[in-house]
Amino acid sequence: TALITLILCLSLGLTVVSRNITSTFFSRCEKFNEYDCKKVWDAFQQAYVNKDPCKVPVEAYDPLIAAAPFKPQCNRMMFWSKTKDVVHGFTEKRDCFVTLEDTLLGSVLDGLTWCGKEGSKDTNTTGCPGWSDCENNTVRSFWIRASAAFADVACGNVTAMLNGSINTPFNPTSIFASVEVPRFIASRVKNLNVVMVIQKNNISNCTDPSLKNLRQSIDTGITFSCKDVSESRIQECGSKPEIACGACW
């Protein structure tokens, strides 16, 4: 009985440590019908379990991406930088655009923290390295890998929401600038349409010099446009289904 008690306690301990992320992962995953969530969970775990949380390279997630590939959704793909809340506030209400966080992998891991530990089978959700604590950290490598795969399937008219309330709306260190934009290729992507989100106290807009850098860094053959759109207009379009997607801005 001592042995059985020990085994019970150990498995209970393991369950408590990873229960939250496991149940969140599965309950979010099961909303998507066309994937085998157990297979996706196993591919997810192999990326970081039993590893130093600062030694998980971007490539560690290749098998996860292969287990849940992104489907191209031409003319509906939405990228963003420093506009997470306004973008998702909109995509939640209207079926006009698809962001990474609306896909299976993006949605199951959105807002979560996870990491493993050398010599352990556990998934921890506390005590994990922060975004900038080390280069190859478990969570950051996932978002870089997933963003790259999402950008790889971009096609047709691509939209990006940038933030007019910061100094450099197109920041070279962002995932959008460093991982996604370089993957837009003219043979797949026709236009890159920037929606500059303008709030009351905006300090930049489509005339910002950083947008010139964006225009210059995109593949030749992809046309570029930028439109200043007030945050309230985006919210209005989110709450009024009678406004057609193409008439939002």
For the annotated catalytic residues, the residue numbers are 74, 155
Residue 205 · residue 164 · CB < 8 Å? yes
Rounded Cα gap, residues 121 and 40, in angstroms: 17
Nearer to ligand AVW, 73 or 243 (CB): 73
Nearer to ligand AVW, 45 or 81 (CB): 81
Residue 240 amino acid letter: K
Q: Taking the complex as a whole, how short is the minimal distance between the CB of residue 85 and ligand AVW, in angstroms?
A: 9
Nearer to ligand AVW, 79 or 114 (CB): 79
C-alpha distances in Å from residue 27, one per residue of 41, 59, 146, 180, 206: 12, 26, 20, 28, 40
Q: Taking the complex as a whole, how short is the minimal distance between the CB of residue 38 and ligand AVW, in angstroms?
A: 26
Backbone angles phi, psi at 244, to 5 degrees: -65, 150
Q: Taking the complex as a whole, how short is the minimal distance between the CB of residue 5 and ligand AVW, in angstroms?
A: 41
Residues that bind ligand AVW (CB under 6 A): 79-82, 84, 100, 131-132, 143, 147, 150, 174-176, 180
Closest C-alpha to 22, from 114, 86, 98, 96:
114
Backbone angles phi, psi at 132, to 5 degrees: -110, 10
Q: Taking the complex as a whole, how short is the minimal distance between the CB of residue 98 and ligand AVW, in angstroms?
A: 10
Nearer to ligand AVW, 49 or 192 (CB): 192
Q: Taking the complex as a whole, how short is the minimal distance between the CB of residue 70 and ligand AVW, in angstroms?
A: 11
Nearer to ligand AVW, 60 or 100 (CB): 100
Q: Where are the beta strands (DSSP E) in 65-147?
A: 78-81
Rounded Cα gap, residues 164 and 222, in angstroms: 23
Rounded Cα gap, residues 20 and 114, in angstroms: 10
DSSP helix/strand/coil, 217: helix
